[in-house]
Chains A and B, each alone.
Chain A
Amino acid sequence: MTSVFSPDGKQTAVTIIEAGPCVVTQVKTKETDGYTSLQLAFGDKKEKHTTAAEKNHFAKSNTSPKQFVKEFRNFSIEKALGESVTVDIFAEGDKVEVVGTSKGKGFQGVVKRHGFHGVGEQSHGQHDRQRAPGSLGNSSDASRVMKGVRMAGRMGGDRVKVKSLKVVKIFPEKNYILVSGSVPGHNGAIVYIQK
């Protein structure tokens, strides 16, 4: 992330995303597959890390082996096998959704994980309940902890979608898209952009 200035001096926090060029490696149609979609591939990988099945699959679209493959259902633009999809499909000012995997936070307590406020205060004789979850449920009626009660545990590393991010700027020569705000994941993480 970084930030850019508009001509009138307003500062906007932006994330730079290298979007494409993605190669169409498969076209699914209503007749053959029952639904329409495009399979896009991005990022080269070495020949020796590619299985024979994958090699054949990429050979069909006349491309080198790719690292990431993702199917997009009901793609709004018609593309043929082997054609590439670039940043040109987006325009400055568009609202987009970005899907990615959030940063792993490890085993976290309920205050960080679920936004609980803890139990008790710092003073008045209390000392060790500030980040506690409190009661887990009722006593005699139920006599058990209900399913789905929010507790401590692994946090992060989930699929996260961030909606209505604005496309601030596009650099077609480098395939960079600048979207306002932050996107899920660490630096260099792979994300999907949808309009």
Chain B
Amino acid sequence: MNAAVAFVHDQLTGKREFPKFKAGDNITVNYKIIEGNKERIQSFKGDVIKRQGTGHTATFTVRKISDGVGVERTFPLFSPNIESVELNKVGRVRRAKLYFQRSRSGKSARIKEKRMATE
């Protein structure tokens, strides 16, 4: 990365500690909503369909089915409004961008879970 860009983000952008997640994983994003001077936390649970960009401008998109309607939401990875990210399930998928999920519904839209041995 460019030294100037690295310096600026070192000064301005806070460090983020999230569990490692990728496309196909099921996550919950706890997002701060500011209404006037009140602040509350809204959670958005769904499958990650893409991670996009590099460095401090990277974003990720979460898709969920809400009342039978597909809803997608893109979050900047370094947004100060993201309170936390929880990793619910690790999915087994073969590609990095899951746009094909948009044309699927019901049973075919399920993502197989990757099960790992626990100690």
- Chain A contact residues, CB within 8 Å of chain B: 2-5, 7-9, 11, 16, 18, 169, 171, 174, 176, 178, 187
Contact = CB atoms under 8 A, between A and B. Distances in A.
22 contacts: A2-B8, A2-B9, A2-B56, A4-B13, A5-B13, A5-B76, A5-B79, A5-B80, A8-B34, A8-B81, A9-B32, A9-B34, A9-B81, A11-B76, A16-B4, A16-B8, A169-B8, A169-B12, A171-B8, A176-B7, A176-B8, A178-B8
Interface in B67-119: 76, 78-81
Given A171-B11, A176-B8, A9 B80 contact: yes
A101 to B, nearest CB: 20
Interface residues of B, number: 19
Interface in B26-82: 32, 34, 55-57, 76, 78-81
Nearest to A7: B80
Contacts of B57: 2-3
Contacts of A2: 5, 8-9, 55-57
Contacts of B7: 171, 174, 176
Contacts of B55: 2
Main secondary structure of the interface of A (DSSP, over half): strand
Interface of B: 2, 4-5, 7-9, 11-13, 32, 34, 55-57, 76, 78-81
A174 B78 CA distance: 24
Nearest to A18: B4
Contacts of B12: 4-5, 169
Given A7-B80, A11-B79, A16 B5 contact: yes
A5 B9 contact: no
Nearest to B76: A11
A187 B2 contact: yes
Q: Which of A11, A176, A178, A187 counts the most chain B CB atoms within 10 A?
A: A11
A16 B2 CA distance: 11
Contacts of A18: 4
Contacts of A176: 4, 7-8
Nearest to A188: B2
The 5 residue pairs across chains A and B that have the minimum distance between CB atoms: A9-B81, A16-B4, A2-B5, A4-B12, A3-B57
B8 to A, nearest CB: 6
Contacts of B56: 2-3
B16 to A, nearest CB: 11
Contacts of B8: 2, 4, 16, 169, 171, 176, 178
